[in-house]
Amino acid sequence: MKVLGIMGSPRIGGNSDVLLGQALTGAKETGADVEKIILDRKHIAGCKDCKKCNTTGVCAIKDDMAEIQTKILEAYAIIHSSPVYFWAMTSQMKAYLDRWCVFFDAEWRWQKIYYPKMRGKRIGLITVCGDSNVKTADPIVHSFQSTIEMTKMHWLGTVMASANDIGDIVKNESAIQQAYALGEKAATP
């Protein structure tokens, strides 16, 4: 089984990246194959709402998202990690999530070609914010949870943590353990 990690932070080695690394370690040590995609290293344009994907199941935009969509379809579970930028997910993560519309028809039902691979897909989320109140990340959590509820995928849960400077998160043993456990859960049938 494959667990895919999607990193929405442009800061390689930053706190969101560290926690995602812990989650992927937990998944790997539970027996999963793991892969991490760093969205900032990919070219992903924002959705143009052209609606072509609603009928074809194929996005009209030719960029790196097509490759990522294939990896999403192949994955058993996906763990997303994003810091909070101005009370929301990063622009990289937002462009990525908006492009999920390719999986749906005009009525927001799964495209028939994708339904067998997306039904019940396991989704987890890691958020890191500079505010000591981790609930600052609630808008990100809401976006992902709403997507999961609408699509009937399987919600693995959220790790919400607070850290400012690069590397601060390693001092938060609870967040490190929670991220590792999220990875284990993602890799456990």
Q: What is the CATH number of the domain that holds 57?
A: 3.40.50.360
- Write down the pTM of the prediction: 0.96
Helix axes 173-186, 15-29, angle to 10 degrees: 40
Structural domain range at position 129? 2-186
Residue 50's pLDDT is: 94
Q: For the chain, what is the domain count?
A: 1
pLDDT tens digits, residue range 78-127? 999 999 999 999 999 999 999 999 999 999 999 999 999 999 999 999 99
Q: Are 162 and 129 in contact (CB under 8 A)?
A: yes
Token code pair at residue 148: 């999961």
Contacts of 149 (CB under 8 A, 6+ apart): 155
pLDDT tens digits, residue range 113-150? 999 999 999 999 999 999 999 999 999 999 999 999 99
CA 121 to chain centre: 12
